[in-house]
Amino acid sequence: MAEFNINILGCGSALPTTRHLATSQIVDLRDKLYMIDCGEGTQIQMRNMRIRFGRLNHIFISHLHGDHCFGLPGLISTLGMLGRNGELVIHGPKEVETFMRPVMDLFCRGLEFEVRFNPINTYEHSLVMEDRSLSVYSIPLKHRIPTCGYLFEEKQKEPHIIREMTDFYQVPVRWMQALKQGKDYITSEGEIIPNSRLTRPATPPKRYAFCSDTAYCPSIIPIIEGVDLLYHEATFAECDLPRAKETFHSTARQAAEIARAAHVGKLLIGHYSARYEDVTPLLQEAKAIFPQTMLANERMVLSL
Ligand SMILES: [Zn+2]
Ligand SMILES: [Zn+2]
């Protein structure tokens, strides 16, 4: 079972190439799936990567540029054909619903499941959704239209019971939940066995930040401070900095500067402009600033 994985379905930018697909990723937290952005063809890429459709209940859209959302109609139609019946929630700027409602009225009549839209304010850093396993927050970005990234924060897990110790002290099963909540065990003779002798702390919760299309935006640094993995767009190389500024995108070097200032564990770059046949110069430019940088690629699976 996956603990906390990031699956890269596509990491190209708007203009199609034979090398990359449009942006989409799937966060897999212990077999619960959360999609981030939905460029064209995600349902095909999910098949390619053997990702189970039934486990997907939430989609997070960063902004209304086609390379981040044109895959929604195809994916929803596929889910309908597969006989889905549980609710699907699409989080994103309010225009996601404006785009999708008429499309669904035309093509997705008789859908057996509910599609719910959760409009979010992309200018605000706030809680977007939470369930038992994680909390998701918006990260306001600076692009040509309202855009936000998403911060996935795993919740604190329960401590592990040390089975040999609970056997040794003959702790009854009904005590196990109390032990997980940090209580000491009191034997029938009244002896107190400290909780630390019976449990082992769970691994610290992990955090993943997805920063979609954006100009250099240092205001995100405090929000993403110390995340285990940061995905940051790096559309351009340094020689194309004027073009990056003009289109509200980042260079690989700028992505690395954000990663360094935010003390992240690792940096993953993507959203490469179609103009680069080879993206190794982008990697080199980023690594010069932040050595723990990786290039995103289709079908890549990263464990946090
Ligand atoms: Zn884009
Ligand atoms: Zn964009």
What pLDDT digit, counting tens, does each position of 59-81 carry?
999 999 999 999 999 999 999 99
Rounded Cα–Cα distance for residues 198 and 179 (Å)? 8
Phi, psi (rounded to 5 degrees) for 154: -70, 145
- Of all ligands present, the nearest one to the C-alpha of 272 is 1
CA of 68 to the centre of ligand 1 (A): 6
Q: What angle do CA 293, 295, 300 make, to 5 degrees?
A: 120
CA distance to 8, 16, 118, 120, 143, per residue, from 38 (Å): 11, 15, 16, 17, 18
- Of all ligands present, the nearest one to the C-alpha of 235 is 1
Cβ pair 141, 147 in contact under 8 A: yes
CA of 212 to the centre of ligand 2 (A): 8
Residue 8 predicted with pLDDT over 90: yes
Residue 85 predicted with pLDDT over 70: yes
Is pLDDT larger for residue 65 or for residue 2? Answer: 65
CA distance to 135, 235, 295, per residue, from 90 (Å): 15, 26, 28
Residue 217 predicted with pLDDT over 70: yes
Is pLDDT larger for residue 19 or for residue 2? Answer: 19
CA of 29 to the centre of ligand 2 (A): 27
pLDDT, averaged across the chain: 95
Residue 1 predicted with pLDDT over 80: no
Residue 11 predicted with pLDDT over 70: yes
Average pLDDT in the 289-293 region?
A: 98
Top-ranked range on mean pLDDT: pick from 110-114, 176-180, 241-245: 241-245
- Of all ligands present, the nearest one to the C-alpha of 39 is 1
pLDDT in the model for residue 56 = 97
Whether the CA torsion 233, 71, 126, 247 is positive or negative: it is: positive
pLDDT in the model for residue 188 = 86
b/e burial code for range 203-228 (CB count within 10 A of at least 16 → b): eeebbbbbbbbbbbbeebbebbeebb
Q: Work out the pLDDT band at 110, boundaries 50, 70, 90.
A: confident
CA distance to 215, 247, 253, 278, per residue, from 242 (Å): 11, 9, 14, 20
Residue 2 predicted with pLDDT over 80: no
Whole-structure pTM value: 0.92
What pLDDT digit, counting tens, does each position of 19-48 carry?
999 999 999 999 999 999 999 999 999 999
- Of all ligands present, the nearest one to the C-alpha of 144 is 2
CA of 248 to the centre of ligand 2 (A): 8
By the CB criterion, residues less than 5 angstroms from ion ligand 2 are 65, 213
**Pairing mode of beta strands 192-193, 185-186:** antiparallel
Cβ pair 178, 186 in contact under 8 A: no
CA of 243 to the centre of ligand 2 (A): 14
CA of 65 to the centre of ligand 2 (A): 5
Host H or E run for residue 150: strand 148-154
The residues annotated with a catalytic role in the active site are 67
Q: Work out the pLDDT band at 157, boundaries 50, 70, 90.
A: confident
